[in-house]
Structure 1
Amino acid sequence: MKKKRILAMAMALAAVMMITACGDADTPAETPGETPAETPGEEPSGEDGDNVLKVQFNVEVASMDPQIATDGTSFEVIAAVTEGLYSVDADGSAIPAMVDTVEKSEDGLTYTFKLKDANWSNGTPVTADDFVFAWRRLVDPEVASEYAFIMGVAGVKNADAISSGEVAVEELGVTAEDEKTLVVELDFPVPYFESLMSFPSFLPMNEEFFTSVGDNYGTSPETLLANGPFKVTAYEPAATTISLEKNADYWDADAVALDGIQYQVIKDSQQTMLSYQNGDLDIATLSGEQVEQFMNDPEFVNVVAGYLWYVSPNQLVAGLENVNIRTGMALAFDKDAIANNILKDGSIPANFPVPTMLATGPDGKDFRETAGTYLETDKAKAVEYFEAGLAELGVTELTYTMLVEDTEASINVAQFLQSEWQTTLPGLTVELQTMPKKNRVERMQAGDYELVLTRWGPDYADPMTYLDMWTTGSSNNYGSWSNAEYDAIIEDAKKGDLALDLEARWEALKDAEKIVMDEAVIMPVYQKGDAVMVRSGVEGVEFHSVGINRVFKNATKN
């Protein structure tokens, strides 16, 4: 089992160099005190020889719509039942999925994909039109997908102009030449284009089926189609149990050993471990004191994760537009204590907005090796900045409410932040409001918050997957910060002269990161680590730090 731990960590480290998928997410659960229900027709778990993998989440699936979903939990389930042009292997490298063959033009601006013969779970063939419909839907302003920007990241022709309402969706650079031939045109070459095609937002959608179920799409097994390794057999929004079974119609069904997957939402860590020890879970995530308790267990696996947890201040809220107030708050809490005393799961203090082990530059070094560190805990300076901000605002005290999702780890971290702020910064009161993750994300998207403890996971292995969030008008710029110099750097690095000069681009991204931190656009807290229990006999689970967190296609359960 020691060998398995090392292998899992190696896979995670390799994955950070590649592109897969992402947004805002973690892992599994059910409500405290409740026992996960058995799915009708399934044999009980544990020693009875069933071949259904029992997997824990600690937050609910927010959406089963690939063009609407924004979080890693949803992406994980969506990617288990839907397959795009590419998927990823155990090392995180892009491998053909729906693609049979591909031709690339010499200038890197045109890709011609021939699709495999494959069917949806209702027997309908997967066609090039399914990709055209899905991709147009992703950038359609009327759909208002939070991930519309990713089409522009991929360089697809006219993507950004369509998202901003300047050009009709029919002008997107994707065409069905025939039923099995998909042609994609780019505005500029994107070296990681094929790898990005494994990201869930680019997954296909059958237009006829989508139209037939209308607004109910993705709310039940009957309103979902699958063309991937598994298909959904039990699901409803906010459900604490989601059941998948092997998709017998999947083109590569012979490679899928599991009969199915049962996801269980269990938010309480003690209940999680009780379920694991009782044999009701095969994969479970630990937190806090549990890590020390089980770290020497042969089934314990420590996985490096790419998620950055941070506090986002809404700069449209009085007081939070002041850079001194934000900086004072960012310096006022002990990040080491959060990582080492509260989480204890391999998380590290974050003195940066771009995580470590995300991407390697043209110099062959990790971005963090040659970039700076910022907003390191300094309580004395925190007081100086905060008092300066109060003076500039002409007030002696400030009160804010911070949104927190209702998972144990998030609540524990938020309570510590609250204590640190109120102890270190006289005059500051922070109240906490807990809610399910889906509601937290909805409040953020609506701009209906003051402070929020949130996270971002990398969609692809480049600093831009973080830095692009804080451009003016970005759908992920929840705090409504704007800086013309910053916008210019990011635009040049994406599409301008910098895009063609890799060394200069890398240095410019470091400059952009410094601007974000100098203005305390966010308050970084920690980079996530995952302490996971994987039951003996379960092999082939792929952990990824970039994109989709876990892939179960090649998993086996003995």
Structure 2
Amino acid sequence: MTKLLLTTALTCAFAFPALAAKPAEGEKLADKQEYTFWLLDAIKSMDPAKNTDVEGSDVLRQLLEGLMIEDNKGAMIPGVAESFDESPDKLTYTFHLRDAKWSNGDPVTAGDFVYGWRRVADPKTASEYAWFMELMNIENATKVVKGELPPDQLGVKAIDDKTFEVKLSNPTPYFIKTLAHTSTFPVPQKVVEAEGDNWTQPGKFVGNGAYKLDSHDLGVSVVMSKNDQYWDAANTILTKLTALTVNDNNVALTRYQAGELDRVQIPAGQYPRLKEQFPNEAISIPYGCSYTYLFNLSDKGPEALKDLRVRQALSYAVDRDTIVDKVLQGGQKPAYWWTHWAVEGFEAPDIEFSKWTQAERVEKAKALLAEAGYGPGGKPLKLTIQYNTDDNHKKLAVAVQQFWKAIGVDAQLANYEWKVHTDRLQNQDFETARYAWCDDYNEASTFLDYFRTEGYNNGKWSNAEYDKLLADSKTSANPAEDYKKAEQILIGDMATVPVYHYAKVDMIKPDMRGVPLENLMNDWYAKDFYRVAQ
């Protein structure tokens, strides 16, 4: 039930009911309440300030909890914050915290959020997500991130132990949506300061989520058990979570079928067969991620990629329909722009080459390469396609290798484990590379900000007009128009090769309940799951 609160300084506050695992009438719970899920890669860091990947977030969401969480449809509902107030000018948010505890029994306070957020923005932390504080438009975030102001000047404050205040530099319509992101989670200051980088190790990790960390065998497994100190532990049914790392998707499926995993990604091309054989287990739902091949446009990148005609030719040559319909076969959609088509409020841009036939794209690609001086009668064009270990990524890289060969490009494949792959990307130690971006919140800026000059932007593309559009969108009455124009610039300059927009194509054991199937971000909280007796 929605509740309206009034204060003299602030206009409104909203309190929402929290979600919890709640068996339906007539459902009988299974005796064993455990859940085992699949991870493709080793988790780089259990530190919310240093985690950068989706799988790490999946684990951290069980161990830590932010101000807000999401319901099964992706709507924002209370986490640690029971309610919040928004000032009339939409620049000040005041969060009222519930009685929550850390797993060691200490109270969770507003100071824990202040410490956590300052730590992300502090250059000394070297957080790869420091820019997220800028994206949230936290007051002074840019100057703090750049080291021009000390972290204590970030626009966050503990009014008292139960009251956390955030000041923004601009009204930000999507601000509340950012608060389920792992970089905004609180951190136990005394534990971090006592243990240093070791605070994330089993036996030392202190969290405020529904589960606590029992063990972490890097690249093998993560084991978590129910946290009795969690504020809603009485409504948490699953008692144990296990994440298993299996680099081979086909092996992971075999382990699912053997009963070792409760949820696993379906390998490329196998969804139609599995849906027919196991209609109650195979699913395909929209998933807010986009798959792409990045170009290294930094000084360390190949000279050939500096030529727009070459980048256009490489993009045109990729047969997206073949990838989606023949290789993946799981409900994905071909991508001719960056932002996922299902993002709330997104208006698709008008991209000319998306209307061409693939034969027309290939002919145009050949002509552009010739014009740029490559191909028959010109210089040979050799490139390396880098991808991280996974059979699906390999299949796509092989397909792209063939598409490029058809226009006269010699592409070699380079496979690395996830950590090495991402380290190479961050150091611009690649030529072209497989990448994907998943939305940090359900709004187009989460995709577009990636390619901002000061954004994550591993390929180091830069365009002043693009940057200005994103800056203007923060105060625009209709940011969708700015986003559409930004997409047209991004693709017009072919900063990347968008390939397809994701669908979540998984096998889920039929006795699992509470798994969200209508949340575009596919964020999930095991505290809302339970198993029924079969």
TM-score relative to the length of structure 2: 0.89
Does the 8 A contact of 1:120 with 1:226 survive in 2? yes
Q: Deviations over 1:68-127 (max 9, x none)?
A: 111111111101110011111111111111113322222111122221111111122111
Between the aligned partners of 1:391 and 1:435, the Cα distance in structure 2 is: 29
Between the aligned partners of 1:455 and 1:544, the Cα distance in structure 2 is: 21
Matching of residues 490-529 of structure 1 within 5 Å:
490-494=470-474, 499-502=475-478, 505-529=479-503
Corresponding position: 1:413 with 2:389: no
Query: Following TM superposition, by how much is the alpha carbon of 1:268 offset from its aligned partner in structure 2, in angstroms?
Result: 2.3
Corresponding residue for 2:225? 245
Segment drifting more, 203-212 vs 434-443 = 434-443
Between the aligned partners of 2:330 and 2:42, the Cα distance in structure 1 is: 21
Partner AA of 2:166 in structure 1 = V
Matching of residues 147-296 of structure 1 within 5 Å:
147-218=129-200, 220-237=201-218, 239-296=219-276
C-alpha RMSD of the superposition: 2.0
Partner AA of 1:389 in structure 2 = A
Partner AA of 2:154 in structure 1 = L
Query: Following TM superposition, by how much is the alpha carbon of 1:546 offset from its aligned partner in structure 2, in angstroms?
Result: 4.5
Query: Following TM superposition, by how much is the alpha carbon of 1:49 offset from its aligned partner in structure 2, in angstroms?
Result: 4.5
Matching of residues 106-125 of structure 1 within 5 Å:
106-125=88-107
Does the 8 A contact of 1:83 with 1:228 survive in 2? yes
Partner AA of 2:335 in structure 1 = A
Task: Note closer, same or farther for the CA distance 1:210–1:546 as it changes in structure 2 (3 Å cut).
Answer: farther
Partner AA of 2:247 in structure 1 = K
Corresponding residue for 1:454? 435
Corresponding position: 1:347 with 2:371: no
Query: Following TM superposition, by how much is the alpha carbon of 1:398 offset from its aligned partner in structure 2, in angstroms?
Result: 2.1
Corresponding residue for 1:100? 82
Query: Following TM superposition, by how much is the alpha carbon of 1:371 offset from its aligned partner in structure 2, in angstroms?
Result: 4.5
Residue of structure 2 aligned with 1:54, choices 15, 36, 40 = 36
Between the aligned partners of 2:222 and 2:439, the Cα distance in structure 1 is: 25
Structure 2: where are the runs of 5+ without partners? Answer: 1-28
Does the 8 A contact of 1:288 with 1:341 survive in 2? no
Between the aligned partners of 2:374 and 2:390, the Cα distance in structure 1 is: 37
Corresponding position: 1:138 with 2:120: yes
Does the 8 A contact of 2:288 with 2:502 survive in 1? yes
Corresponding position: 1:468 with 2:453: no
Does the 8 A contact of 2:316 with 2:353 survive in 1? no
Between the aligned partners of 1:303 and 1:271, the Cα distance in structure 2 is: 23
Does the 8 A contact of 1:81 with 1:230 survive in 2? yes
Between the aligned partners of 1:214 and 1:234, the Cα distance in structure 2 is: 19
Corresponding position: 1:68 with 2:14: no
Does the 8 A contact of 1:351 with 1:373 survive in 2? no
Partner AA of 1:286 in structure 2 = I
Between the aligned partners of 1:525 and 1:125, the Cα distance in structure 2 is: 47
Query: Following TM superposition, by how much is the alpha carbon of 1:373 offset from its aligned partner in structure 2, in angstroms?
Result: 5.7
Between the aligned partners of 1:188 and 1:268, the Cα distance in structure 2 is: 45
Between the aligned partners of 2:454 and 2:70, the Cα distance in structure 1 is: 31
Task: Note closer, same or farther for the CA distance 1:269–1:551 as it changes in structure 2 (3 Å cut).
Answer: same
Segment drifting more, 375-384 vs 447-456 = 375-384
TM-score relative to the length of structure 1: 0.85
Between the aligned partners of 1:549 and 1:88, the Cα distance in structure 2 is: 8
Task: Note closer, same or farther for the CA distance 1:289–1:518 as it changes in structure 2 (3 Å cut).
Answer: closer
Between the aligned partners of 1:521 and 1:167, the Cα distance in structure 2 is: 32
Between the aligned partners of 1:93 and 1:464, the Cα distance in structure 2 is: 18
Matching of residues 297-316 of structure 1 within 5 Å:
297=278, 298-316=280-298
Partner AA of 1:481 in structure 2 = W
Partner AA of 2:344 in structure 1 = A
Between the aligned partners of 1:550 and 1:158, the Cα distance in structure 2 is: 32
Q: Deviations over 1:4-48 (max 9, x none)?
A: xxxxxxxxxxxxxxxxxxxxxxxxxxxxxxxxxxxxxxxxxxx99
Residue of structure 1 aligned with 2:313, choices 323, 328, 337 = 328
Corresponding residue for 2:509? 535
Corresponding residue for 1:383? 366
Corresponding position: 1:436 with 2:417: yes
Query: Following TM superposition, by how much is the alpha carbon of 1:267 offset from its aligned partner in structure 2, in angstroms?
Result: 2.7
Structure 1: where are the runs of 5+ without partners? Answer: 1-46, 361-365
Partner AA of 1:279 in structure 2 = G
Q: After TM superposition, which residue ranges in structure 1, 4 or more long, deviate above 6 angstroms?
A: none
Between the aligned partners of 1:100 and 1:549, the Cα distance in structure 2 is: 20
Task: Note closer, same or farther for the CA distance 1:272–1:49 as it changes in structure 2 (3 Å cut).
Answer: farther
Q: Deviations over 1:201-225 (max 9, x none)?
A: 100001110111112232x212321
Task: Note closer, same or farther for the CA distance 1:240–1:509 as it changes in structure 2 (3 Å cut).
Answer: same
Between the aligned partners of 1:69 and 1:89, the Cα distance in structure 2 is: 23
Q: Deviations over 1:410-438 (max 9, x none)?
A: 1110111111111x222x22111111222
Identity %: 29
Between the aligned partners of 1:454 and 1:245, the Cα distance in structure 2 is: 33
Query: Following TM superposition, by how much is the alpha carbon of 1:314 offset from its aligned partner in structure 2, in angstroms?
Result: 0.3
Between the aligned partners of 1:395 and 1:226, the Cα distance in structure 2 is: 60
How many pairs does the alignment contain?
Answer: 494
Q: Deviations over 1:303-362 (max 9, x none)?
A: 2111100000101322111111111000112111111111112111111111101121xx
